[in-house]
Structure 1
Amino acid sequence: MAFQAIIVFTLACLCVPCDGNRKFIEIDRSNDVPKGKSEPVFQEQWITQKLDHFNGADSRVWDQKFLVTETHYRAGGPVFLMIGGEGPINAGWMAMNPGSAWLTYAKKLGALCFMVEHRFYGDSHPTVDLSTENLRFLSSQQALADLAHFRTVIAKQRGLTNSKWVAFGGSYPGALAAWSRLKYPHLIHAAVASSAPLHATVNFSEYLEVVWRALAAENPECPLLVKKAFDTLQERIKDPNNYDNITKDFNLCSKLQIQSEKDRAYILDALADNIMNTVQYNNDNREFEHVLDTNCTIKTVCGVMTDASLGDPYYRFAAFVRLRTITHLLKPCFKDLTYNANLQDLRNTSYSGPHGGGGRQWTYQTCTEFGYFQTTDSPNQPFGGFGLQYHVEQCQDNFNISAKTLYAGIDQTNENYGSYNIRATRIVFPNGSIDPWHALGITSSISDDLPAIFIKGTAHCANMYPARAEDLPQLTLAREHVFQLLQKWLKEK
């Protein structure tokens, strides 16, 4: 699973269930019910879960939210389980028109569809707040145990014990889908793990390397111009006399304040994210989720960066940030916080706090399980100024998690799930070539029962979104390939 997990600009997850692991993007949730429908085509329900599945002496429980639709279900059909991630579950994934890929498969195969919210995100609150002490119950292992219990209870309640359950997910939930098949093969018959980062790593420097290659594929000069622009920005930001001009150039909401090296890294990371996020979601068909930032593409980036009329590359980059802020994010100015101000927001332990929708929770998971920090430590990328130390120190600042503890947690994740060497059956791994997250996923088939589908020219979770006429032929073929695998696997015992 969209994140520089520490920098969170809004409270809505970038893509749920394809929640991406990079950033949070603004989502308009005012119209989650599909247009033209007077009533939802799904039901919202709740299930009781244990707080700690791995401690029999702990009897505490909580209520987990899920959605269900029987629209396409035919008696004897399979059960599809869409896994939520690091944000509220989005009802757009249950909308019939346009239908996302999993619902298209459900219609063809007569599947009953469930979508389950991840513990600690959205409305699924296992504890009264998000204190660090309570967040120890937030982990992928606990989330997988939630899914196993959900499957067991719902199957018994609805007479689905002998049905074949298929797990779906994108990005972090894509990894959860694969791991649910790995850890609970007696409960999960097959899994579709889209854009799934199966390898945990503290220093995810490969992310920006893919960004470079994605920009170069559009125009070989584009990443070179971005690098020149960012080199200039890094030089100018060293001098306080330039702060007024930088504030104006990038249309910051308040005057730039640099009081520490972390402040400098924070604003550089925030500005670079305008391009990073654009690449990650390039041309993805996300309108059905009500995501605001859908029309800004790599072509937009490179079009602005090669426009000499805008001035030197620095001014072109600033023009792109202004364009994306106003035209695509629909904001009057680019939000500019200091590192300490953002830190205070992240330390707020209320679910209604500035980052209570998912930012604090996901930051904790990156600091304890995954890392995934997109650093500028590689020479083969266009940015600079936010290296590994900056990210690692944030775990200490937010949760008092030391570097030693951080590295140990990431090692344990890879040991527990197998990283790139996952060994299971009936899991398919779709990935896009311009999605930076494919660097942590399976892009070559491990076996006939662990196939990879590497889709040239597509971005994060592209295969999960509704089909459209302008889809690349290879994307259409990838969706059909997944369907053929589902047909085959559902015939197997």
Structure 2
Amino acid sequence: MAFQLCGLPLCKITSFFLFSVFAIGDGHYKSFVKYNQLQDNKRGAAFEEQWFIQKLDHFSGADTRVWKQRYFINEAFYKPGGPVFLMIGGEGRANPAWMQYGTWLTYAEKLGALCLLLEHRFYGKSHPTDDLSTDNLRFLSSRQALADLAHFRTVIGETRGLTNRKWVAFGGSYPGSLAAWFRLKYPHLVHASVATSAPVYATVNFPEYLEVVWRSLASESAECPLLVKKASDTLVERLKDPKTYDNITKDFNLCSKLQIQTDADSAYFLETLAGVFMDVVQYNEDNRVFEGIPGTNITIKVLCDVMGDTSLKDPYSRYAAVARLMMDTFFIKCLDTTFGTYFRDMTNTSWHGPAAGGGRQWVYQTCTEFGFYQSTDSPNQPFNGFPLAYYLKQCADFYNVSAEQLAEAVAQTNEYYGGYDIRSTRIVFPNGSIDPWHALGITRDITSDLPAVFIKGTAHCANMYPARSQDLPQLALARDHIFLLLQQWLKQ
């Protein structure tokens, strides 16, 4: 799932730092910028948060419990008889900045649309239960989230006189998947969907993510991923010798002396460092500044320039330099790569816990619905040391979900939604070639009414962000094409 609005993660499960994107999915949660450290910025503050009385369990008529779900509304562009645009929240706080910026608002202005943003259950301020115990998390699923959308659309439609208006769902990353599935499962409630960077196929093991990282790095410099691989391999070898731990601690400015006592200790450390490259590739050269996101100046080119810097003696030294660059960018004094800390954070079930910003919730969803584990099990990628078994053990340790249960849950997800074989109409699937998540998305037209928009040279959810002069021509054309599709579909 950072995806973050955009971020599968639905985005990566883990990352070196946290991209805070809140109406596009993200799922970036192992990071040295702590889960709930980033705060809502002032942009979008003019849009007051509102609350909707939502059902706890849509699939049990005997369960009458309810809770308050947060949403935002922008009526500035609405013209009587116009459509309703519904932005779907993801695995993080719903950021009201999206009520003020974004391509969907450009479309809304042209089409006279009313704009709504609904926060996803169990994320942000939308707390359906008293805590995040595994027993309570059983109410966290994409199916419950879709039912939330359906009930919200029905009630808002009735109370605001919008029942007969044409509703269009928008989402990026995991919310992009939800946008597609909303149209698929509730076609009588949503007229069309824009499912950006949407991973529609669930899979336990997703090593293809890192294969795309390799290709995306190579698009900048053929040597770059080779240097990254050499650095990663060198680090793996040094971790086998405890005599190197003092130097590694110093090289990567760790908060405490490196201790490798279990396979998880090693995997967590290696994954954290690899997360720099994974995140930067996923969000390369996007336009998320309006969300208050730091570090957007760090691009594939910047990383590859560091990895190719011959003033540093070897790839290992350059790898450490990349880590220090990111720490400087995020004003981090030292790097905590201790798996024990992560374990304590992830098993804290309080809404005030360090992983309550989304980490505990999103990893639960991956363990019970999606998988999406970006393992190093493929030889055609630059990293080493965090295999599928590392992730499967977390599902067991955090939520008591076995590998067999996860495999069955993933199979059920694909059976329920159809995986790549979606049968519906009026859904457009934009994806970027640089974005690793396109490997689980729709990149070719299924039918003329289920078109794909594959944008070469762009990363995760690029078409959703505000346009700017330095955008690639193909990105501008993609935005225009999506608008023409919406214009055409709203006439049907």
**Same fold by TM-score greater than 0.5:** yes
Specify the alignment match of 2:332 in structure 1.
Answer: 331
1:23, 1:277 within 8 Å by CA — same for their partners in 2?
Answer: no
Q: Deviations over 1:299-322 (max 9, x none)?
A: 011101111111101101111111
CA distance in 2, matches of 1:69, 1:265: 45
1:272, 1:383 within 8 Å by CA — same for their partners in 2?
Answer: yes
CA distance in 2, matches of 1:263, 1:106: 48
TM-score by length of structure 1 reads: 0.95
1:195, 1:460 within 8 Å by CA — same for their partners in 2?
Answer: yes
Report 1:258-277 matches (<5 A). Answer: 258-277=260-279
CA distance in 2, matches of 1:165, 1:85: 19
Specify the alignment match of 2:79 in structure 1.
Answer: 74
Q: Deviations over 1:217-256 (max 9, x none)?
A: 1000000000000010000111111111111111222221
Structure 2 counterpart of 1:247, from 246, 249, 267:
249
Report 1:260-339 matches (<5 A). Answer: 260-327=262-329, 329-337=330-338, 339=339
1:227, 1:382 within 8 Å by CA — same for their partners in 2?
Answer: yes
Specify the alignment match of 1:32 in structure 2.
Answer: 42
Specify the alignment match of 2:454 in structure 1.
Answer: 454
1:322, 1:334 within 8 Å by CA — same for their partners in 2?
Answer: no
Specify the alignment match of 2:404 in structure 1.
Answer: 404
Q: Secondary structure at the match of 2:169?
A: strand
2:84, 2:113 within 8 Å by CA — same for their partners in 1?
Answer: yes
CA distance in 2, matches of 1:382, 1:9: 16
- Give structure 2 stretches of 5+ with no counterpart: none
Is 1:425 paired with 2:430?
no
Specify the alignment match of 1:56 in structure 2.
Answer: 61
Distance 1:101 1:422, change over 3 A: same
1:77, 1:112 within 8 Å by CA — same for their partners in 2?
Answer: yes
Q: Deviations over 1:33-70 (max 9, x none)?
A: 35xxxx70x23211111110000011111110000010
TM-score by length of structure 2 reads: 0.95
CA distance in 1, matches of 2:395, 2:138: 14
CA distance in 1, matches of 2:299, 2:360: 28
Specify the alignment match of 1:485 in structure 2.
Answer: 485
Q: Secondary structure at the match of 1:463?
A: helix
Runs of 4+ aligned residues of structure 1 deviating over 6 Å after TM superposition are none
The alpha-carbon deviation at position 190 of structure 1 amounts to: 0.2
Distance 1:368 1:63, change over 3 A: same
What RMSD over aligned residues (CA atoms) do the two structures have, in Å?
1.5
CA distance in 1, matches of 2:372, 2:184: 22
Specify the alignment match of 2:376 in structure 1.
Answer: 376
The alpha-carbon deviation at position 21 of structure 1 amounts to: 3.8
Q: Secondary structure at the match of 1:115?
A: strand
Q: Secondary structure at the match of 2:354?
A: coil
Distance 1:470 1:13, change over 3 A: closer
1:280, 1:460 within 8 Å by CA — same for their partners in 2?
Answer: yes
The alpha-carbon deviation at position 23 of structure 1 amounts to: 4.5
CA distance in 1, matches of 2:285, 2:464: 13
Specify the alignment match of 1:365 in structure 2.
Answer: 365
Q: Secondary structure at the match of 1:127?
A: coil
2:268, 2:337 within 8 Å by CA — same for their partners in 1?
Answer: no
CA distance in 2, matches of 1:430, 1:449: 14
CA distance in 2, matches of 1:159, 1:21: 36
Report 1:88-487 matches (<5 A). Answer: 88-95=93-100, 99-327=101-329, 329-337=330-338, 339-487=339-487
Specify the alignment match of 2:22 in structure 1.
Answer: 16
The alpha-carbon deviation at position 434 of structure 1 amounts to: 0.5
2:13, 2:27 within 8 Å by CA — same for their partners in 1?
Answer: no
1:50, 1:60 within 8 Å by CA — same for their partners in 2?
Answer: yes
CA distance in 2, matches of 1:300, 1:13: 18
Q: Deviations over 1:351-384 (max 9, x none)?
A: 1101011100001000000000000000000001
The alpha-carbon deviation at position 24 of structure 1 amounts to: 6.6
1:322, 1:333 within 8 Å by CA — same for their partners in 2?
Answer: no
Q: Aligned pairs, how many?
A: 481
1:14, 1:24 within 8 Å by CA — same for their partners in 2?
Answer: no
CA distance in 1, matches of 2:177, 2:268: 28
CA distance in 1, matches of 2:229, 2:413: 34
Q: Percent identity among equivalent residues?
A: 64
Q: Secondary structure at the match of 2:116?
A: strand
Distance 1:13 1:276, change over 3 A: closer
Q: Secondary structure at the match of 2:420?
A: helix
The alpha-carbon deviation at position 6 of structure 1 amounts to: 5.4
Write the letter of the residue equivalent to 1:146.
Answer: D
